Amino acid sequence: MKSGHRQTCTLIAVIVMLLFIASTVAGTRAVVAGRDQDKPPSIVDIPILNYHKVDTIHHSLSVLPENFEKQMAYLNDNGFHTITPDQLMAYLKFGKPLPEKPVMITFDDGYLDNYANAFPSMKKYGFTGTIFLVTAKIGQDQRFMNWDQVREMQQAGFVFGSHTANHTALTKVDAAQAEAELVGSRDEMERQLGQKPRYFAYPTGTYNLQIEQAVRQAGYRAAFTVRYGQVGPDSDLYALERIPIFQSENTFRSFFIRLNGATLLERLGMIRN
């Protein structure tokens, strides 16, 4: 009981400290975030941000465009550089150097607002991102992008991966259905974009060892979860951590805490080192 109480008190102290820092520095350029300064660049952990919608609807998964712009400005002002999944893999597997303060920006599903709202803001700062598509929705549902918009973003340096054909939670279906979702989305993306997708994100974030193996067998090089944390040399390539970003009462403060908190919580052993 005493050990549990101490851990709870430590967590509360961390949260209070982060809240204080966030309230003090929000909107300034003076913050250095996303890197453990005691680590040499060769073993830096990588924050991978996970968005869904960038729109004005009232939903926790939909970040307001003005809040998204503020977050992108923060990353730019604090010296972050966006990287691609290929760069991430070259670093994790072969130790190939990354730019200073690397960050990967990802979106799940392929909503139209990713093109209409997020894309212009990111282009303004020279950022690129990775979008995991629900392929049966692309060009078929007005809430989602069409393939011409996807190709335009691809030409601008964005990377597209699979999020299955129908946003199916793969742990809820049999092996044949899971394979059909993985292969069907892969093949449709190859038809539309001229190459097979190399990366995958689990719908609803659910996966297990059997699903990891199915993703590997379908030809994907890595897969992303919604498990909070940063990616490092010890990460499972088929269960890569991300930092989910939500709309909240104070969205920038929440963004700041989630981005910067991973490093501190890892130091304290509260999430994966």
pLDDT of residue 44: 81
Please report the DSSP string for 106-157 in residue order: EEEE-BHHIIIIIHHHHHHTT---EEEE-GGGTTTSTTB--HHHHHHHHHTT
Domain of residue 75, residue span: 44-249
Domain of 49, CATH number, reads 3.20.20.370
* Domain-located, residue 239: yes
With beta carbons less than 8 A apart as the criterion, state whether 256 and 22 touch: yes
pLDDT at 260: 85
- Give dist(CA 95, CA 108) in Å, integer: 27
87 within domain boundaries: yes
Which tokens is 234 given?
């010890």
| % of the chain beyond a pLDDT of 90 | 71
3-state SS, residue 1: coil
The residue ranking higher by pLDDT, 65 or 33, is: 65
18 within some domain: no
Mean pLDDT, to the nearest integer, of 62-67?
Answer: 95
DSSP string, 211-253: HHHHHHHTT-SEEEEEEES-B-TTS-TTSEEEEE----TTHHH
pTM of the model: 0.83
233-255 pLDDT, tens digit each: 889 999 999 999 988 878 888 89
Tens digits of residue pLDDT in 184-209 = 999 999 999 999 999 999 999 999 99
Count of structural domains, the chain: 1
State residue 20's pLDDT score.
Answer: 45
What residue type is assigned to position 56 of the chain?
T
Contact 132, 165 (CB under 8 A): no
